[in-house]
Structure formats: structure tokens, C-alpha cells
Amino acid sequence: MSLLNMNLEEIISKLKEAFTQDEVKSRVLNQEWRARNQDNGIDSTGFCYAASEVIYRLDGGKQNWKKVSISEQDWNLGGHCYLINKQTNEILDITSDQYGNIIIPYELGRAGGFRQVSGKARILSILAGLGEIE
């Protein structure tokens, strides 16, 4: 299947599967987030930025999505990144399960953008079988 024909559900499915793989964790997560991932046993922990960037770049970029971040200074559980669909205004946060029953304070998020492709997003996309992103 061509990446151009891959729909959002397929991208998300491949990313979630990649979150479970030790090689992906060791190559994408920094030491602090890898430790949190192992401690809580929730595979999505620490992947919010890279996963959001992969989805953004493979599913229409700034035409379809706003990248939103909650600052570490604004939330005691650390920084968090997610997307908002520009057409529907719906939040897409494929790593929200890392917080369990804690309500994520999305109202603290600030819109921004992605500049050049991050190394972590590039690695995640390749290891998830989604190919190279630009």
C-alpha cells in the first residue's frame, strides 16, 4: 500500500503497534521517558511528540492539523503534545492512555507548529513501517 493511500486509522494502528516494540522504545524515547514507559507499563508513554509529528506529516500537515503542546511549566505531569483537526476542531491524542484516569488539561495547550522533521519522528515512522517522512 502506498503511503499516499494510507488512511489515518491505518497510520494510528501502525504507530500504536510500534509503541510496543523494544527497539522503537530504545531508539525514540529519551532516558527519562523510557523509564516512565517501563515503570507504568503503558506502551504509549513518551511518544506524544513523535507520534503527533508523524501523523501531522503523513496526513495533510498544516492543511489538516494544528499541533498543540502543554508546557511542562503549566502541568505538573510534564509536557504533552497532541493534534487538533482544523476542519472538525476535534482533538487527536493517540497517547492519552499514558495518563490513565487523569484528565488531560487540553485547555492549557498552545498551538504551534513543526519545523523541520525531527529525528525521533523520522525513526518512529520508519520503524512503524510508514516510510520516510519529509
Q: Report yes or no: 46 and 29 within 8 Å, Cβ to Cβ.
A: yes
- Is residue 9's pLDDT more than 90? yes
**Alpha-carbon dihedral angle through residues 26, 27, 30, 35, given to the nearest 10 degrees:** -10
Domain residue limits at 40: 3-127
* Mean local confidence (pLDDT), 30-58: 95
Judge whether 29 lies within some domain. Answer: yes
Cell 497510520 found at? 11
Residue 19's pLDDT is what?
Answer: 98
Residue 5's pLDDT is what?
Answer: 54
Judge whether 134 lies within some domain. Answer: no
How many domains, the chain? 1
Judge whether 75 lies within some domain. Answer: yes
- Is residue 41's pLDDT more than 60? yes
pLDDT mean across residues, the chain: 92
Rounded CA Rg of the chain: 14
Judge whether 132 lies within some domain. Answer: no
- Give residue 113's region: left, alpha or beta (phi > 0; psi -120 to 50): beta
Judge whether 62 lies within some domain. Answer: yes
Judge whether 49 lies within some domain. Answer: yes
The rounded distance, in Å, linking the Cα atoms of 27 and 22 is: 9
Query: pLDDT by residue (tens digit) across 80-93?
Result: 999 999 999 999 99
